């Protein structure tokens, strides 16, 4: 197989109980999981196979399991398709670490060490909140209208901007509920769903996570990637190792501009987007991201969602 593709990796929230059970039956994938156990913990296999959804959803567990799944899926698929070359990689939120592995900017082992530090730092922040905090998924015809509206409700900020019409707001649960109440009272054309998460990722509530993440990165190596990584923290192509490290730290509190990152990948020439996962997600958003001013899909875009079953052969 000979092709150039842009790899895609999802963020936190795609976890589900048993997510890696079939994956571990793939020898190339199991070998990757074994390489990650020293950094991600001896319970990694349990997280991927038998941990119930409620426990797996905890920040510390979800990030470790998702990253292991991402890297094992991707490297197993690449092993079966040695002719594939990358012209870019996009990672949604924490998925950017797997993207760095895909473009050979980070080793499997170092990626596991960073995710372990990130998951612990994020989990510690969640445990420190003096009142319940979280995220709310919001959809509208144009998410810019949602972004403009947050100033009307103190304590709410944009955390993730995923597509033209969809994103996520973060804040205290009281503030998010106040936003939802105002939207209902004033009949705003939006749909709002409070998410079952431990905290408002990508907001200032996670400022305390930056220092342990920075300390972890000082011990690890990031090389110049073989292809650009399109990062949501900046919304653009990144190739400089020092800048990538700083953006990984800033990601804790910066709005995740995933829509901009995907559009930057298209602008740079990426046309075939591939996601290999037990449950592909960001590749399914392309029809809501890569469109023209009239809402028509941009030319040449191919989206491939490859499941665990397909890499098992």
Average pLDDT (203-226) is: 98
Beta carbons within 10 angstroms of residue 3's beta carbon: 14
Which of 95, 2, 6, 38 lies closest to 273 in space, CA to CA? 6
CA distance 282 to 196: 20
Same domain, 21 and 98: yes
- Stated pTM of the model: 0.97
Q: Are residues 218 and 106 in the same domain?
A: yes
The candidate with the shortest Cα–Cα distance to 22, out of 299, 311, 266, is 311
pLDDT at 145 over 50: yes
Q: Is the pLDDT of residue 61 over 80?
A: yes
Helix H or strand E segment including 40: helix 27-40
> Looking at residue 148, which CATH number applies to its domain?
3.30.70.250
Is the pLDDT confidence value at 144 over 50? yes
Indicate if the alpha-carbon torsion angle 243, 228, 89, 107 is positive or negative. negative
| DSSP structure class, residue 173 | H
Query: What is the rounded average pLDDT of the residues 152-169?
Result: 97
Measured between alpha carbons, how far apart are the two ends of the chain, in Å?
A: 15
Last-in-domain residue among 143, 161, 194: 194
Phi and psi, residue 169, nearest 5°: -105, 150
In the structure, what pLDDT confidence band is assigned to residue 294 with cuts at 50, 70 and 90? confident
| Residue 293: band (very low, low, confident or very high) from pLDDT cuts 50, 70, 90 | confident
Sorting pLDDT into bands at 50, 70 and 90, what band is 140?
A: very high
| Average pLDDT estimate for 158-177 | 98
- Please state the φ and ψ torsions of residue 155, each to the nearest 5 degrees: 90, 5
d(CA 57, CA 63): 9
138 and 100 co-located in one domain: no
Q: What is the span of the domain harbouring residue 18?
A: 3-128+203-312
The whole-chain average pLDDT of the chain stands at 96
Residues 140 and 279 in one domain: no
pLDDT at 1 over 50: no
Tell me the CATH number at 94.
Answer: 3.40.366.10
Contact 143, 165 (CB under 8 A): yes
Return the percentage of the chain with pLDDT > 70, whole number. Answer: 99
Q: Are residues 79 and 107 in the same domain?
A: yes
How many Cβ atoms from other residues are within 10 Å of residue 204's Cβ? 11
- Identify the three-state secondary structure at position 5: strand
From CA 71, how far away is CA 204, in angstroms rounded? 29
Task: Say if residue 87 is in the same domain as residue 59.
Answer: yes
Angle between helices 108-128 and 59-80 (to 10 degrees): 160
- Confidence label for 3 from pLDDT (cuts 50, 70 and 90): low
- The yes-or-no verdict on residue 142 having pLDDT over 80 is yes
Last residue of a domain, one of 194, 212, 240: 194
pLDDT at 175 over 60: yes
Structure tokens at 92: 């949604």
Distances (CA, A) of 262 to 143, 164, 167, 181, 228: 16, 11, 14, 32, 12
What confidence tens digit (pLDDT) does each residue in 105-131 have?
999 999 999 999 999 999 999 999 999
Tell me: do 137 and 124 sit in the same domain.
Answer: no
Q: What local confidence, expressed as pLDDT, does residue 93 receive? A: 97
pLDDT category at 313 given cuts 50, 70, 90 is low
| Residues 165 and 288 grouped into a single domain | no
List pLDDT tens digits, range 227-265. 999 999 999 999 999 999 999 999 999 999 999 999 999
């Amino acid at each position: 197989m000979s092709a150039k593709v842009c790899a895609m990796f999802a963020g936190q929230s795609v976890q589900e109980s048993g997510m890696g059970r079939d994956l571990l039956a793939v020898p190339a994938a199991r070998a990757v999981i074994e390489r990650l156990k020293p950094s991600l913990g001896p319970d990694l296999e349990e997280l991927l196979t038998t941990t119930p959804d409620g426990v797996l959803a905890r920040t510390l567990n979800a990030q470790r399991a998702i990253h292991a799944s991402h890297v094992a899926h991707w490297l197993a698929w690449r092993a079966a398709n040695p002719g594939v070359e990358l012209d870019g990689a996009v990672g949604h939120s924490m998925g950017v670490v797997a993207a760095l592995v895909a473009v050979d900017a980070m080793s499997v082992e170092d990626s596991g060490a960073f995710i372990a530090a990130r998951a612990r730092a994020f989990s510690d922040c969640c445990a420190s909140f003096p009142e319940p905090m979280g995220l709310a998924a919001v959809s509208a015809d144009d998410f810019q209208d949602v972004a403009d509206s947050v100033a009307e409700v103190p304590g709410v900020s944009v955390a993730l901007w995923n597509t033209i019409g969809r994103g996520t707001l973060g804040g205290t649960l009281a503030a998010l509920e106040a936003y939802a109440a105002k939207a209902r009272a004033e009949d705003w054309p939006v749909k709002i769903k409070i998410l079952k998460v431990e905290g408002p990722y990508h907001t200032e509530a996670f400022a305390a996570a930056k220092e342990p993440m920075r300390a972890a990165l000082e011990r690890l190596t990031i090389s110049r990637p073989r292809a650009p990584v399109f990062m949501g923290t900046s919304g653009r192509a990144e190739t400089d190792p020092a800048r990538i490290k700083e953006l990984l730290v800033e990601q804790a509190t910066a709005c995740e501009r995933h829509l901009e990152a995907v559009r930057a990948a298209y602008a740079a020439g990426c046309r075939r987007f591939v996601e290999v996962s037990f449950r592909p997600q960001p590749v399914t958003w392309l029809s809501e991201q890569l469109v023209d001013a009239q809402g028509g899909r941009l030319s040449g875009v191919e989206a491939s969602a490859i499941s665990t079953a397909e890499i098992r052969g």
